[in-house]
Amino acid sequence: MIRACREAGLATVAVFSDADREALHVRMADEAHPIGPAEPAASYLSIDRLVHVAKATGADAIHPGYGFLSENPQFAEACLAAGLTFIGPPASAMRAMSDKTAARRVATGLKVPAARLAREVGYPVMIKAAMGGGGKGMRLVREERELGSALRLARAEAVAAFGNGAVYIERYLAEPRHIEIQILADAHGTVVHLGERECSIQRRHQKLIEEAPSPLVDEAMRTRMGEAACRLAAAVGYVNAGTVEFLVDGDRNFYFLEMNTRLQVEHPVTEMVTGIDIVREQLRIAAGERLGFGQADVCLRGAAIECRINAEDPFADFLPSPGTITRLSAPGGPWVRNDSGADEGSAVPRFYDTLVAKLICWGADREAAIGRMARALDEYRVVGVRSTIPVLRRVLADPDFTAGRLSTGLLDRILPGLRPASGRHRTIALIAAALTAHARAGRLQPGPASPPAWRLGARPGWRGGRA
């Protein structure tokens, strides 16, 4: 987002919590201002503090990012009331579509296929946060006795992540495919779609690998899904970037799932195959400009895959692995893109999402994209925290994945065969034994209780303001 602003000649202001004081976005922005403690409720979810910083710095607009308040209509309204441009859809469209239950009613009214989502369909069911996304506030309930506790947990997690505890219940489909349509809409009535992304490879209901185009979708299916997504957007007066998500069954029937009224984490794969900078288009639309292209101008070229590098331990049920990244070496080469919020010395806080980087690779076809991604993952080095890189390598090598036989249950079938790299524990044991031997020989002297803290140095154009 900062890079897109710079290319457009726009100055940027970053906000940060105490946990993100040394984060990469803080150093990249022209200005950076503290906004509160690490807990999201007192910092990134505080509308008043965000608006205060924007007004104090003379900002014209606010980009809400991927999470937190990005789908909160009250935030959009607060920006408008303060004379700020919200780089996203109007609050009315957000209310119609970001509330998942309201969105289902809109889809049903437009005759867009939607699954019957009522308790009477029987178990298992899925509880989901009405204002959420990214797997937060979700619980699978296999039988009725689990329902009460699952509701309480889902509501508590939804409040912590989105500031809203509303949830809804839908019928759980065991192994559908998760396919979504990227749309762009300007304020002059033009709505276009940029094709689909397949996001079926997930853990804990959170996406891990995304690709465009989907190996399942042909041109006719793409047209039908794209038209359905554009009808939904137009019906609620949608403006800016958004994503309409569908579940697809074994017979290639697609059903409306939800609309994400924000920029998606996986938007780069669409950028790679269309050549369209979605963030730059968001800025243009927010400035009142018309889309400079129509549906007939959108062309998909080649294939792109995104792998999410998360600070999680895939050998311990993907438990978060917060800590300090002591070494980070990203891959390069033609058609390899690394979108990262971290570098060497960066801390991965325990308070937020575990995403460290998004690795995106393009190829002339899907096979070439997979091969390039496999090579890039082999080059990637993240030391100091556990990462999802081993499981990403394993998925890319799986015959079902390479053949395009995807589903939301594929990762669960792959994981039992995944093991830590050979010799990993033995190497750690040998190093520990060597250190013990040196200590006994008196060759090691006690060090400080903790390493010196690394502080952000001043640089031209950066000033730490107060909120």
Domain positions in the chain: 2-96, 116-171, 177-417
- Say if residue 292's pLDDT is above 80: yes
At residue 255, φ and ψ (nearest 5 deg) are: -130, 135
Q: Say what the pLDDT of residue 133 is.
A: 62
Strand partners, 52: none
Distance CA 163, CA 136 (A): 12
Q: Confidence band (pLDDT; 50, 70, 90) for 416?
A: confident
Cα gap 158→181, rounded to integer Å:
25
Counting residues of the chain whose pLDDT is more than 90, the rounded percentage is: 66
Q: What class has domain 177-417?
A: alpha beta
Active site residues: 262
pLDDT of amino acid 142: 78
C-beta separation of 66 from 263 below 8 A: yes
Stretch 293-301: mean pLDDT: 97
Query: Contact at 8 Å (CB) between 347 and 323?
Result: yes
**What average pLDDT does this structure show over 47-62?**
97
| Higher-confidence position of 258 and 429 | 258
The whole-number pLDDT of residue 426 equals 40
Lowest-pLDDT choice from 160-169, 209-218, 357-366, 406-415:
160-169
| Higher per-residue pLDDT: 118 or 373 | 373
Instruction: Give the CATH number of domain 116-171.
Output: 3.30.1490.20
Whether pLDDT at 456 is above 60: no
List, for residues 86-105, the tens digit of each pLDDT value: 999 999 999 998 667 778 77
- Pairing, β 303-310 against β 254-260: unpaired
Supply the pLDDT for residue 166.
Answer: 80
pLDDT of 218 > 80? The answer is: yes
pLDDT digit string, tens, across residues 273-289: 999 999 999 999 999 99
Domain 2-96, CATH number (from 3.40.50.20, 1.20.120.530, 3.40.980.10, 3.30.379.10): 3.40.50.20
Output the pLDDT for position 230: 97
pLDDT at 368: 98
Of 386, 371, 412, 418, nearest to 202 (Cα)? Answer: 412
Residues 210-220: what's their mean pLDDT?
Answer: 98
Mean pLDDT of 110-115: 68
Q: What is the pLDDT of residues 114-134, one digit of tens each?
A: 544 434 556 777 787 876 666
Percent of the chain with pLDDT over 70: 86
Mean pLDDT across the chain, nearest whole number?
86
Whether the pLDDT of residue 345 is over 70: the answer is yes
Predicted confidence at residue 128, as pLDDT, reads: 79
CA nearest 305: which of 337, 327, 276? 337
**Alpha-carbon dihedral sign for residues 355, 359, 365, 366:** negative
Tell me what the mean pLDDT of segment 304-333 comes to: 95
Name which residue leads in pLDDT, 244 or 168. 244
Reported confidence tier of residue 437, pLDDT bands at 50, 70, 90: very low
Task: Locate 141 and state its tokens.
Answer: 């309930």
Better pLDDT: 141 or 217: 217
Cis peptide upstream of residue 90 (ω within 30 degrees of 0): no
Q: Are 360 and 393 in contact (CB under 8 A)?
A: no
Q: Given a cut of 90, is residue 445 above it in pLDDT?
A: no
How far apart CA 30 and CA 27 sit, in angstroms, is: 8
**Residue type at 407?**
S
Tell me the average pLDDT across 248-254: 90
| Strongest mean pLDDT among 166-175, 357-366, 451-460 | 357-366
Same fold, 2-96 and 177-417: no
Position 41 scores a pLDDT of 92
Asked which of 124-133, 148-157, 218-227, 345-354 is least confident by mean pLDDT, the reply is 124-133
Do the beta carbons of residue 323 and residue 348 sit within 8 Å? yes
Is residue 428 scored above 60 in pLDDT?
Answer: no
Residue 430 pLDDT exceeds 70: no
